[in-house]
Homo-oligomer: A and B are copies of this chain.
Amino acid sequence: MNLFEKHEALLKKAMDALHARTFFAAFPEHPAPAIYGETADADGQAHFKNQLGKKFEELKQTHTTGWGGQEESPYTQEPLSVLYPMASVDTLISNATKAFHTWRKVAANERAGILLESLERMKKRFFEIAYATMHTTGQGFMMAFQASGPHAADRALEAVAAGYEELNRFPAHALWDKPMGKFNIQLNKQWQAVPKGISVVIGCSTFPTWNSVTGIYGSLITGNPVIVKPHPGAILPIAIFVAEIQKVLAENNLDPNTCQLAVDTFDKMITHQLAEHPSVKLIDYTGNAAFGSYLEALPGKTVFTEKTGVNSVIIDSVDDADKAAANLAFSVNLYSGQMCTAPQNFFIPAAGIQSPNGKISFDDFAQKFAGQISSLVDNPKAGPFVLGAIQNKKTKERTTEAEKLPGKLILKSRTLENPFFKNARTATPVVVEITADKKDIFGKELFGPIALLIKTQNTDESILLAQEMAWKHGAISCAAYTTDPSVKEKIADAMALATTPVSFNLTGGIYMNQNAAFSDFHVTGGNPAGNASFTNPEYVAKRFTWVGHREPVKQNG
């Protein structure tokens, strides 16, 4: 049985799931011993610890020269001292160019088999990837496991399924038989999906696998060689993915340089040089808006970006104010607000919000919200693990400085002791009340655990501001609370026009930050938060070009 046959049933399930958009997950998100094995956690942790201070020798890519790596754990604030093989941009490109001419000729079935096999292998390394993610991003263990392991693998599978569907959208051959009256003109036609060329996937420091694998697998399934350029602060999780892909390639007598890791260091970044190389045709990027916009404007490249967004919460009326406040507090606490889907701007009418128990004033809701944040933060069994650590010193500084924003400080940020990592870089959320005219303050992304409660004249103003923020500055998520169907319709329409998905009236164990493969499109691609979407047809179709050749049918006799 070849790899395609081995994984065909899963691929078909994934293709069906893409269209059904109901719940589907191929990789269990719970790190339970019953699922992943009794020793999986301990083994994974041991593997991770054993890698520290050593060379990462699993990669099979060629022509590397020297070793480098500057990762540091936000939990220990110590270097990981993992060293990765490095290569010049010219070497990476020449390796990729060579691999291109083999990989592009590998049939889509075979590519799919290899990629799905690599994901199945990855399953055995989810715990190791989780610890690597914790100690590069600062995520708590549970998020690190889920986001970098099963959820990332599901997103990768989704990209393979979407790509496979597009590659099979049109026939490889057809007879074109045109009646001309006395005779027919007959042409044999054939179509091929021609891959665009070298793909560079530029990773971010907070979600080193989740935000990169869709681009990697999306480019690979469509026949393009990939150069993975991780953030210099978060290499190890994606290095493990690349190593597993290279192993499966090599086992199948294919060039491991089809998917290369391009490590650089903070003092000598190679991203510009890679992106601008004329042979690079595809670029996937997650990160700040300025660099993303620079990439989008590069001529002759197909660029997929996820940049920054200003996510809004519109609070009009609630069924249960405490449950709403608790849900939103969790969204702000989760990974200390370092998710691209975390809320920042909370638009609340000055006159307060309706509830079945009467009107709740702005101040009362602000206190409920701050109270729910603190209650989670102060719960020693939950707080440190939900909040995790702060990836970047600048995020910590930004959070502290937010106290000085021109408004009313509702909740101060403070450090939070982690029982396992005394030296963890932490910051609990800061909550500031500001007025609706301070667009210069709330009209930009304040990355980190920073929540702004913005006092509006009424819900109509809240909606207009949320829409304006999404249009002008981008938005990836939005939450809204309303018990009024006409207000709901108004919010749904206004935010749809700003191409921002809205989560209505969330309470309980589901949060606006969360985003499910095969169901939720991640980033719509329609507003300045990014030009691409996981995983719509465009996301994969733009990675290749349909080309059709034709020739008259030979007449016999």
A: residues with CB less than 8 A from B are 19-23, 166, 169-171, 174-180, 185, 187, 189, 191-192, 194, 196, 293, 296-297, 299, 492, 495-497, 499-510, 516, 519-521, 524-526, 533, 536-538, 541-542, 545-552
Contacts and interface: CB of A to CB of B under 8 A. Distances in A.
Indicate how many identical chains form the complex.
2
A169 B552 contact: no
Contact of A510 (B501, B526, B552): B552
Nearest to A173: B21
- Across the A-B interface, give the 6 residue pairs with the lowest CB-CB distance, nearest first: A526-B545, A504-B551, A499-B545, A23-B178, A21-B174, A502-B549
A552 B21 contact: no
A23 B536 contact: no
Contacts of A501: 547-550
A22 B175 contact: yes
Contacts of A538: 537-538, 541-542
A170 B19 contact: yes
B519 A174 contact: yes
Nearest to A185: B510
A505 B191 CA distance: 17
B547 A22 contact: no
A311 to B, nearest CB: 14
A524 B547 contact: yes
A546 B536 contact: yes
A494 to B, nearest CB: 11
B510 A189 contact: no
A194 B547 contact: no
Task: Describe A's contact surface by its main secondary structure.
Answer: mixed
Given A194-B496, A501-B550, A551-B505, A22 B176 contact: yes
Nearest to A30: B181
A522 to B, nearest CB: 10
Given A516-B176, A541-B541, A545-B499, A504 B21 contact: no
B552 A519 contact: no
Interface centre among A170, A196, A299, A525 (most CB of B within 10 A): A170
27 contacts: A19-B169, A19-B171, A21-B171, A21-B176, A21-B189, A21-B191, A21-B548, A22-B174, A22-B176, A23-B177, A169-B537, A180-B509, A187-B510, A191-B521, A194-B496, A194-B526, A296-B299, A297-B297, A492-B549, A496-B549, A502-B550, A504-B549, A504-B551, A521-B548, A524-B546, A525-B545, A537-B538
Contacts of A171: 19-21
Contacts of A507: 552
A524 B549 contact: no
Contacts of A500: 547
Contacts of A525: 545
A413 B297 CA distance: 43
B520 A548 contact: yes
Contacts of A516: 176, 178
Nearest to A524: B545
A196 B526 contact: yes
A247 B496 CA distance: 30
Nearest to A510: B185
Contacts of A170: 19, 21
A23 B546 CA distance: 18
A504 B552 CA distance: 8
Given A504-B549, A525-B545, A537-B541, 7 more contacts: A21-B548, A180-B509, A185-B510, A192-B496, A194-B496, A496-B549, A521-B548
A35 to B, nearest CB: 12
A172 to B, nearest CB: 10
A487 B537 CA distance: 35
A508 B553 CA distance: 12
A20 B297 CA distance: 37
A207 to B, nearest CB: 20
Contacts of A542: 538
Contacts of A179: 23
A28 to B, nearest CB: 11
Contacts of A180: 509
A508 B186 CA distance: 11
A199 B21 CA distance: 30
Given A21-B189, A22-B174, A297-B299, A504 B537 contact: no
Contacts of A293: 299
Nearest to A509: B185
B551 A503 contact: yes
A505 B166 CA distance: 30
Nearest to A542: B538
Interface centre among A171, A180, A194, A536 (most CB of B within 10 A): A194
Contacts of A550: 501-504, 520
Contacts of A551: 503-506
